[in-house]
Structure 1
Amino acid sequence: MKPITSTNGGRPLRVLAACRLSLDDDSSSSIERQREKLREWMYANPHCTLVHVTEDRSVSGAVDLKDRPELGPWLAEGKRDGWDAIWVSTQDRLGRDDLHFMAFVKDLLEWQKGIYVHDDPSFDVTTETGRLIAYAKATQAAAELTRIRQRALDSRDYLRRNGLWAGGNLPFGYKPVPLAVGDKVHYKLVQEPDYAKLLREIAQRVEGGEVLARIARDLNERGILTWQDHLRTLPGPDGHEPKGVRGVKWHPSTISRVFKKVSCIGWVQYEDKETGKIRVVELDNGEPVMFTDEPILTSAERATVLAKIEERVAKPQRARRSVARLSGIIKCGTCGQRMNINRITHKLKGGLATYERYRCASTTTAQQCSMPAYIEKDFIEEYLDELLLGQLGGKEEVRVVKNAGEDHTVELEQYRARLARVEKEDEQGWYDDDRESYLKKRRNLVARIKELEAKPVIPATVTYEPTGRTFRKKWEGMTDEEQREYLLAHNVLIGAWRSGVLPKQRAAFVWLGDLVEASRAMGVEHDRMRDAVWSFTRSNLTEEQEAAAKRWIERVFPEGKELPF
């Protein structure tokens, strides 16, 4: 369309300016340059009035104009009556997709709107010849977009295959450091000390049986920023001010997602555009490409954590009024079945009174018990509290730290799975035109499998790390559900009978399982006799009941260790 020489029916022509930038950062001035051209154009056409300037930053030229955040609403029916023509600095600001461009031209003609291109005063789509020229330029822009995309894909593929950071969101616990590659500067990822340590702590707590909800609550109470908020405290490109935290809280699903990503073990992954699936980048020998020389976790450690998480997810959940602290821990001394919480309500003169007790599950299942046990809830729970806090209350609590040792079982299974996948791809014809590549990949995978099969297995070890708080503070700060999970994680076992040596009085025993080892790390001095008294505590047991209790403990006692009784 030719430059404007007259007003629009006696009134100024209302112009909508459309600025667009594919990649936007604080150092870019492209939008500002487009605005400068707009000022020049408006000065040269004083009988035009500027309605609005849309700024679509970080919007690809492949995005349809109607879908652009800023420009799109102005093309809708409700706002189209507010402008007469659209202005752009160059034709490719309208887009780099030739089909989108011509569809937009058709719409403008139907709406009786105009287009003005600052750098091309002869631009005119009101004639067939003008549309032909505009379309030719649009196809050139589309071809350039294709080349830009291919260069970007090639660049990202090069960075992925060489374990270099291609930009984007940083994976949890890693930070970029510059690395000179020839005459270019790329980035390699290394551990961010604080969050790498935090991820290992979380992994160890999950392995120890701690629930994700408890871990999330603890991290929030400690005031530790989530990874997303931590990144927002860092300076932006070229030292610009940080964006500032949003106050995002830790959540069980947030923690779970970290371990589900292979970035926690340093593997490079990408989205396969054809299938939409996330795949791991592999070398010709089938090994995963690593973006770091020191991953935070090993494959085996990640697999253990994921197994713990999946184990908890797989457990059926049912609605209940409250959580019984000893559910799944306390057993009926007569038959060995679990004891469930049972509530009895009595009508008294002063009103209704509810009594809670643990009762043998045989009363509600098909399994039989010759003498179903029951024991008052307050009695057995207070008995356990006094036992634990009496010995450990003032001691500094410790956290279990597991050292994985050396076990390549998980890695071996992964390579076997890769070999099976490559062989399946070959059956599907993936390598029909490149047999050499298939044979090389298969040969390397088989060699790696044999190498892993030959490596020794070094047993894992367990150590204890102080947490800086007393056991009493930890224990009393936990919910019933968290205490239950803690006892289960430490293999605590409790048994109860309806009566024992003294008739009409409850009989029970408590086996403290792994808490004995933990108590040593807390500074409790032990000997064989003390272990026997403290770790295996009895109340009102007959000789027969004590013998039965010992048989239960023997069944769950670790192999190779000597019983303390």
Structure 2
Amino acid sequence: MPPPIEAPTIQRPYDGCGKCFVALRRLSRKTDATTSPERQAGHVEAAVKAVGGHIIAWADDWEVSGATDPMTRPALGPWLRNKKGPYDGVVASAVDRLGRNLVDCLNTGYMMRDTGRLLVTYGHDGPWDLNDPADENRFTLEAWSAQMELRAIQRRNSDATANERSKGRKRGKHAYGYRYVRTHAKASIDHVALDHGELMPEDVKKRENAAEVIRAVARRILADTTGAITPDSEAARLTRARIYSPSDHLRVMSGKDPRGLPWDGAALSKMLVSEAALGLLMHKEKPVVGEDGKPIQVATPLWNRATHTALLKKLRLSRKPTAKRAQSGTHLVSEISECGNCTYRMYRTGSPVAMTCKSRPRGLTDCEPSPTIQVSILEEAVTNSFLANYGDHMFMETVYDPGNGNEEKLEGLRAARRRLRDDREAGLYDDAEDAEWFQSRYASLTSDIKKLEAEPIRPAGMVSRPTGRTVEMEWDAAQDDGERRKLLQEFGAKIRVWPSGHTPRYEITFDPEANEDAREVTSR
């Protein structure tokens, strides 16, 4: 990890002298030697001295692209939006440190002009005067030059990526669960491997086993029969467990400090259904097909094609408007408590925290009196009842068996062969050389299909298996009350509450359809 970059000393606080400057520095990468922080600081201080001003603050934006609008930059943006206090102008080592987008640079320059503030850069004689046509043209030219340089960099990167992709090699950001392997620090990518979180010699922090993290999420979602486990609830669980989000995991892998960003349910869902998890080379979210008509494999799959298909089906169903919304909180009795009068769901409210029926205040029913009961009473009761009835039972888990994947492999090969056949019928491969290539690829695909057809097919599906652990052991090992509520939901737990004075005050039931053991009812 590169050493932290310290901001130079602030010369003097804001004093209203008319030349109190915010000094800005920016780097796309901390390792960019050609525009080092020290060189920028020296140029900035020289520019401020030349105009007789002083620096009241440093706005350092490291690892911020020049394409980023100055108004939205983490350090500079709040100053420009008047969120950090008064100042008389900004100073930079060059116009391209302000940004590499012509429109953004001009907008920022005109904002300085229109608000009566100064804009100073090293190498320019005095502050920029955008009311003067000559100064305006020069500023525009330097901003345009910065944009042209950015476009050249982007074009080179795009060309290099396309070249690597044509050779069946990865480039750019890798998918979560994978990591790039290089023979040495500055070498090109040698191959893509599963990210098991090994502590490498240059690492400062131990990384999570990202491959196992995403596999566990897939297993939990596929095995869920309650509708309570979704990408959103899993994102909340991973955030609570303080597992690095994909962006923070990538930062740690690069030797940078994590930012503490939470997991996002939509992004997690996208990762789960992406074919990148099959270890395929991807471009614009689609697999890249090689000359043999098959998707190019660049890494070991996180799971097989059958699991990918099952995740697609499960997550597409969960997006339907009629799908049950998952509970992502950690409260034990939330979502399983309902009013005994009107059967509407009860909600947490008040202090001390209580479960309350809100159907009448919301105009849904005429439920009166609306029952209210302290959460601690229900939590103790449901815990005691559940463990008394099921605590010593052997815990069975329902898991997704991906099968041997032969059925999906066959479908993939048949689809590739159909594409070749359709292309041939459309008039492609009519030349002698093309026809020869077509015949060899078609024969190769047909041979692979026949080999797979001769092998047994074990279809994917849900299976139940013993874990060797009791229900009480699973309860004690649960990460939080959100995990324990999941156990209650698997056993069909339901709590009904009536108003004070009613007998019983509450009733706890376990649905026999959720568990094959005999129905148990506990009332008080």
TM value normalised by structure 2:
0.56
Letter in 1 for 2:287: V
Residue 54 in 1 paired to residue 69 in 2? no
Shift of residue 56 of structure 1?
A: 3.1
Equivalent residue number for residue 411 of structure 1: 412
Equivalent residue number for residue 186 of structure 1: 189
Structure 1 residues 201, 29: CA separation in 2 closer, same or farther (over 3 Å shift)?
same
In the TM superposition, what whole-angstrom CA distance separates every residue of 1:300-329 from its partner, at most 9, and x where no partner exists? Answer: 33113333444566695589x9989xxxxx
Unaligned runs of 5+ in 1: 1-9, 272-277, 325-342, 344-384, 486-509, 516-533, 538-565
Structure 1 residues 444, 393: CA separation in 2 closer, same or farther (over 3 Å shift)?
farther
Equivalent residue number for residue 291 of structure 1: 298
What is the Cα-based RMSD across aligned positions, in Å? 5.6
Letter in 2 for 1:282: V
Shift of residue 442 of structure 1?
A: 7.7
Three-state SS of the structure 1 residue aligned to 2:296 is coil
Residue 482 in 1 paired to residue 490 in 2? yes
Q: For 1:50-89, list aligned pairs within 5 A.
A: 50-75=55-80, 82-89=86-93
Q: How many residue pairs are counted as aligned between the two chains?
A: 399
8 Å CA contact retained: 2:222, 2:400? no
Equivalent residue number for residue 497 of structure 2: none
Q: For 1:115-514, list aligned pairs within 5 A.
A: 115-121=119-125, 125=129, 127-162=132-167, 164-168=169-173, 171-179=175-183, 184-186=187-189, 188-193=191-196, 194-197=209-212, 199-200=214-215, 203=218, 210-211=225-226, 213=228, 225=241, 228-229=244-245, 232=248, 236=252, 239=255, 243=258, 256-271=269-284, 278-292=285-299, 294-310=300-316, 316=322, 395=394, 397=396, 402=401, 404-405=403-404, 406-407=406-407, 408-412=409-413, 414-415=415-416, 450-454=446-450, 455-456=452-453, 457-460=455-458, 467-470=467-470, 481-483=489-491
Give distance in 2, aligned partners of 1:400 and 1:167: 35
Give distance in 1, aligned partners of 2:239 and 2:137: 63
8 Å CA contact retained: 1:280, 1:288? yes
Give distance in 2, aligned partners of 1:110 and 1:475: 64
Shift of residue 60 of structure 1?
A: 2.9
Residue 34 in 1 paired to residue 40 in 2? yes
Structure 1 residues 316, 235: CA separation in 2 closer, same or farther (over 3 Å shift)?
closer
Of all paired residues, the percent bearing the same amino acid is: 19
Structure 1 residues 103, 323: CA separation in 2 closer, same or farther (over 3 Å shift)?
closer
Equivalent residue number for residue 481 of structure 2: none
Give distance in 2, aligned partners of 1:238 and 1:219: 23
Higher Rg: 1
In the TM superposition, what whole-angstrom CA distance separates every residue of 1:374-400 from its partner, at most 9, and x where no partner exists? Answer: xxxxxxxxxxx9xx98xx966574665
Give distance in 2, aligned partners of 1:222 and 1:136: 49
Give distance in 2, aligned partners of 1:223 and 1:117: 43
TM value normalised by structure 1:
0.53
Structure 1 residues 238, 198: CA separation in 2 closer, same or farther (over 3 Å shift)?
closer
8 Å CA contact retained: 1:26, 1:237? no
Q: For 1:516-535, list aligned pairs within 5 A.
A: none
Give distance in 2, aligned partners of 1:127 and 1:96: 22
Structure 1 residues 234, 144: CA separation in 2 closer, same or farther (over 3 Å shift)?
closer
Three-state SS of the structure 1 residue aligned to 2:67 is coil
Give distance in 2, aligned partners of 1:213 and 1:142: 49
Shift of residue 469 of structure 1?
A: 0.8
